[in-house]
A and B are shown apart, each in its own frame.
Chain A
């Protein structure tokens, strides 16, 4: 992780604002990842450990279309650069969603309702497979995504913010609004019904299978968006083998918010993002070693779980004897 902006600020106020912007951008990425995880969990009762692998894969697709293939530049060379990049990123996200659908049909559908062990291990196995293949395609060096805004930084209030970070936050808010809108549509209501009571939903003529597929497609798509933004300028130089591990830090976000709460996922994402960046900016004592900011999410998670074992917004499980 690179937090150039937070480290180099001259005054305390600027440093605080830089860190806050950076934290909000990071939180937005975590919120996107957490949102996908919660959607999948609510629909299928499966926590997707392969989320990081899907994110890395999505980012690789984006790098492939935008840089290696120069996909839009070939066909619509007259269009503005930003539009071209957005188009190739969109194709990458759709492809990732397609992979999510394939994964759900092949590996997840037979496992619905199986015991916890099997369900945990199957997504870990998927993670291993997708990660190995993605790593092979990525190769040894990070692949840049060729974003149109590069490493540009703009002044916003007292602090500095990278253009890529603005894009991250804007896209995340758009995605959140999109999901909120989606839940009001006919299919969205069907998904909520299935998550609430699968049998009752099926009795009303909702196809639970289609809902599972849809949830995995949306989840994988969101993971890809998060993957793309986690491998651009302030965070890293490109998509690499480390991108997949990044998503493991979204797990605390989900747990803090509560596994079955959409609002919780978003709140948890921003809490984790800000906690991580503030830790990186203010708690850089030598005895803490390197990478302490990276484990801050887990420490926050354990503290929250000690107080609330089902997360801040999660529903407490009611169990029969």
Chain B
């Protein structure tokens, strides 16, 4: 009986944050792993502590913040939104205006992070609440198109506000990840410069990673708690059948508006973090592709679950890096020029003029896709493969494994 998933003897235990011991143990181990990665003490995973991998993992965490927001709107409330990039832009530029350096070409007030980071979320949430009346009137595919419109209107807005965004040419600088009490020159804690913490030497990348990890953990717990409240349950009721929910007394328009605002809050925070992390962004960064990435994260990970959302972030954001490594490996094999593997690699890779292949690593406009185009193509193909063969995403694979062991030694 003990440790059986989905078997609860008390209501309180069903509603618990982490209901079973298996989950508690796995969660603890996973958290320990996440904390140990930058220390480079785990055999086999030490490379993840390198500064370039730390940057990729930090990006994963930032996208996880945004994806948690879309999880509330799409996963819980069931509304397809492609407007996430717009709200990220709102958050990023709110943060930039409040926290940016004073006296530059772009507006900046030089306020500390404990003001600009929450403010980014709050302003985005307010804008989300402003858009909500239009958004709750339309449903389904119409909402998807309205939110696409939002992204394009946003892009135009950022382009026409060069004082805030720095324009399309150079973009603007965003405030760094530094904790200050007020505007003093030396930050209290800096999350992006090398230095020791508690006697251990950390790189700036590792510190950024730790900071973002804390943000993600806090926001994930908040999301999980939202799911357990009356509001969260009203979201799910609307997702499962909106008319039925309304008949039972769930205020549909109000719940959708709350969901929209909450999701925008997360998007705003994610946008501010992305700006601070990349440090310089052009307005076009907040385009439709960014929104698509979040939708992809949700669907690849598994719609409607926090675990799936986090898994999806890891998968979607680390994928380009793996493609890049794989392409350079192929290219190296092809250029080594001997053996069977080399000729196989040569079919796929074109390394110079006159060589024809699927992928081109040569400079200039030679036949064959370049690495970023290959990344896009593989990204699209993977999405299609996932949607057709595993509609429940990575979480669905886990569910299948779990059900296998749950019924073991029987097949069901």
Q: Which residues of A are in contact with B by a Cβ distance under 8 Å? A: 47, 107, 110-111, 114-118, 120-122, 124-129, 131-133, 135-136, 139-140, 248, 251-252, 254-255, 259, 287-292, 294-295, 297-299, 301-302, 305-306, 309-310, 317, 319-321
User: Could you tell me the distance between the alpha carbons of A299 and B142 in the complex, rounded to whole angstroms?
Assistant: 14
Contact in complex: B299, A129 (CB < 8 Å): no
Which residue of chain A is the closest to B150 with respect to CB atoms? A298
Segment among B16-24, B341-349, B365-373 that sits at the interface with chain A: B365-373
- B152-160, B175-183, B396-404: which lies at the A interface? B152-160
Q: Is the CB of B380 within 8 A of A132?
A: yes
Q: Judging by beta carbons under 8 Å apart, are B159 and A289 in contact?
A: yes
B369 adjacent to A133 (CB under 8 Å): yes
The residues in B between 367 and 406 inclusive whose CB is less than 8 angstroms from any CB of A are 368-370, 373-374, 376-377, 379-381, 383-384, 387-388, 391
Q: Please name all residues of chain B whose beta carbon is closer than 8 Å to the beta carbon of A306 when the two chains form the complex.
A: 134, 137
Q: Are A291 and B388 in contact (CB under 8 A)?
A: no
B244 CB–A CB distance under 8 Å: yes
Interface of B is mostly: helix
Interface: B145 (CB within 8 A): yes
B142 touching A135, Cβ below 8 Å:
no
In the bound complex, do residue A136 and residue B373 qualify as a contact, i.e. CB atoms below 8 Å apart? yes
B230 at the interface (CB under 8 A from A): no
Q: A120-B141, A295-B156, A302-B149 are in contact. List 13 more A-B contacts (CB 8 A).
A: A115-B391, A117-B303, A120-B295, A126-B380, A126-B384, A128-B376, A248-B288, A255-B145, A291-B156, A309-B137, A309-B138, A309-B142, A321-B243
Q: Which residues of B contact A (CB under 8 A)?
A: 74, 80, 82, 134, 137-142, 144-146, 148-150, 152-153, 156, 159-161, 241, 243-244, 247, 288, 292, 295-296, 298-299, 303, 365, 368-370, 373-374, 376-377, 379-381, 383-384, 387-388, 391
Q: Which residue of A lies closest to B360 (CB)?
A: A136
Given the contacts A111-B387, A117-B74, A124-B292, A129 and B141 also touching, CB distance less than 8 Å = no
Partner of B299, one of A118, A248, A289, A317: A118
The residue on B at minimum CB distance from A293 is B156
Give Cα distance in the complex from A237 to B296, angstroms: 34
Contact (Cβ within 8 A) B295 A319: no
Given contacts A124-B292, A305-B134, A305-B138, contact A251 B80 (CB under 8 A): no
B145 near A251: Cβ-Cβ < 8 Å: yes
Give the number of residue pairs across the A-B interface with Cβ within 8 Å: 144
Task: Check if A140 sits within 8 Å of B365, measured CB to CB.
Answer: yes
Q: Which residue of chain A has the shortest Cβ distance to B383 in the bound complex? A: A125
Are the CB atoms of B80 and A301 closer together than 8 Å? no
Contact yes or no, B160 A288, CB < 8 A: yes
A68 to B8, CA, bound (A): 69
Which residues from chain A contact B74 at a C-beta distance below 8 Å? 117
With A125-B387, A129-B381, A289-B159 already in contact, the answer to whether A116 and B141 are too (CB < 8 A) is yes
Are A299 and B153 in contact (CB-based, < 8 A)?
Answer: yes
A47/B156 in contact, CB under 8 A: no
A residues near B156, Cβ cutoff 8 Å: 289, 291-292, 294-295
Chain A residue at minimum C-beta to C-beta distance from B291: A124
Contact between B160 and A289, CB atoms less than 8 A apart: yes
A248: which of B139, B152, B241 is its contact (CB, 8 Å)?
B152
Do B145 and A47 have beta carbons less than 8 Å apart? yes
- The answer to whether A121 and B295 touch across the interface, beta carbons within 8 angstroms, is yes
A135 to B376, CA, bound (A): 11
Q: Looking at the assembled complex, report how far the CB atom of A284 sits from the nearest CB atom of chain B, in whole angstroms.
A: 13
A71 to chain B, nearest CB (A): 20
- Which residue of chain A has its CB nearest to the CB of B241? A321
Q: How far is the CB of B203 from chain A (nearest CB, A)?
A: 34
In the assembly, what is the distance between CA of A251 and CA of B148, in Å? 9
Asked if A107 and B388 make an inter-chain contact with CB atoms under 8 angstroms apart, the answer reads yes
